[in-house]
Amino acid sequence: MDVLSLSRLQFTATSMFHFIFVPLTLGLSIMVAYMESRYVASGDELYLKMTKFWGKLFLINFALGVVTGLTMEFQFGMNWAEYSRYVGDIFGAPLAIEATVAFFLESVFIGVWIFGWNKISKRMHAISIWLVALATNLSALWILVANGWMQHPVGFELRNGRAEMVDFGAILTNPYGLIKFGHTVLSGYAVAAFFVMGISAWHLLRGNRTDFFKRSFAMGARFGLVASLLVFMTGDFHAVEIAKTQPTKFAAMESVWETRSNVGMNLFLLPDEQRECNAVERLCIPNMVSYLAFHLPNAEIKGLKEFPKEERPPVALTFFSFRLMAGMGTFIMLASLAATIFSWRDHLEQRKWFLRVMLLALPIPYLACQFGWLVAEVGRQPWIVYGVLKTAAGVSSAIVTPQVIASLVGFVLLYGMLGAADIFLLFKYARKGPDDDLSTMIQNTREEV
């Protein structure tokens, strides 16, 4: 493999591994903040125990997310130095704001939250975790603004062989980035909801702390239902934006080869890239693809044959990733609805079949997020900045294959150990359940941190 292929593989591996932790951090920070707010408002110590239990799992996940995220930015200056030279004026601005504003806000107040128990007022302590949640989601905003610019570049001019920013407001308000932010963050909320429901289901199946985990499950169910409905809505907005700004990606997502109007959606479809057609097309929903693209049943969809082969993304990978993401998203919405209904009724712990389903469903939102990122990044190819800079032109000319192989092996080993540590710690403390002695619980959390 050459430097380009290895660098792409390395960034894919590190970014997808990092994205295991990001969605849970986004959603669980909100849920823990809500739990503590309920405790402050009501004085109910069950909410305090929920805050401490789920907060401990949040901290474990948060720490791994920070560590795995740091290495990604170094790759922009090493493997992708040409990309950074070409668009650094634009891409670097939102990342700098993320680091100097959101990340520092997050770091300061997570320290206040960890070490502030019984040292500051209950209200201020709850505010500190809300500030952590706000900063965490602001970090995602700036990162996705940067990624949104890569998907749909605006507010720049090409000067002296480089892309230079001329309108920061256009970059900040880029519809592609803002819609992507909403869709991604809400997907993270669904991950957190299923994380809470899955662990709660495990304990309820064993009859552990029924009151505690029934309340946790119910909270996760309501949070997941709202999040999944909003994910569906923002996904519709995102599809329209993709069809408008990235027609090659949209055509690959739906495997449309010929330009035509009134395009239907085949529920069973198998792309054939070699023959530039679909080998299987069954159970067509009339006009559905046209409606998804432009909210008009007779809208024209540009087919892949309209574009040179070298400017088309990998069709099969984009198509199947999109179908899997959409299918899992539908399951998440229906499962959240069922969980909300069942949690409103008594005897949730007696519905063992459903609790087993929710336990086994815990990884599904994680997988949906990963497939969504594959659609976003693979579907943009062969462009690293859509329509402006091709991926092959962004790789550094100063590195050689053995260097990339060595760093790739190093990342795999390091991330493998970090992943094992994360799974061990999450499993250990999730299985243990909440402590009854609140003073001991607080002291143990400080010592572990």
- The residues with which 162 forms a beta bridge, in sequence order, are 159
- The residues with which 383 forms a beta bridge, in sequence order, are 390
- Taking only the tens place, the pLDDT of each residue in 362-395 is 999 999 999 999 999 999 989 999 988 888 888 8
- Taking only the tens place, the pLDDT of each residue in 236-266 is 999 999 999 999 999 999 988 889 988 888 8
Question: Nearest 5 degrees, angle CA 432-CA 190-CA 268?
Answer: 120
pLDDT of residue 229: 94
- Asked if residue 446 has pLDDT above 70, the reply is no
| pLDDT confidence tier of residue 160, bands split at 50, 70 and 90 | confident
Work out whether the CA dihedral 388, 392, 395, 397 comes out positive or negative. Answer: negative
| pLDDT confidence tier of residue 220, bands split at 50, 70 and 90 | very high
- Asked if residue 142 has pLDDT above 70, the reply is yes
Region label for 271, one of left (φ > 0), alpha (ψ between -120 and 50) or beta (otherwise) = beta
Lookup: tokens for 421: 């540590």
- Asked if residue 189 has pLDDT above 70, the reply is yes
Specify the residue for token string 């500030």: 131
Mean pLDDT, range 184-199, rounded to an integer? 93
DSSP assignment of 92-145, as one string? HHHHHHIIIIIIHHHHHHHHHHHH-TTTS-HHHHHHHHHHHHHHHHHHHHHHHH
Mean pLDDT, range 204-230, rounded to an integer? 90
- Taking only the tens place, the pLDDT of each residue in 283-301 is 888 988 898 888 888 888 8
User: pTM for the whole thing?
Assistant: 0.88
Residues in the chain: 449
CB contact set of 412 (below 8 Å; sequence gap of 6+)? 13
Cα–Cα distance, 29 to 49 (Å, whole number):
16
Lookup: tokens for 252: 């690959």
pLDDT of residue 443: 47
- Taking only the tens place, the pLDDT of each residue in 64-98 is 777 777 777 777 778 888 888 888 888 888 888 88
Lookup: tokens for 194: 């299923």
pLDDT of residue 357: 93
- Taking only the tens place, the pLDDT of each residue in 292-327 is 888 888 888 898 988 998 889 999 999 999 999 999
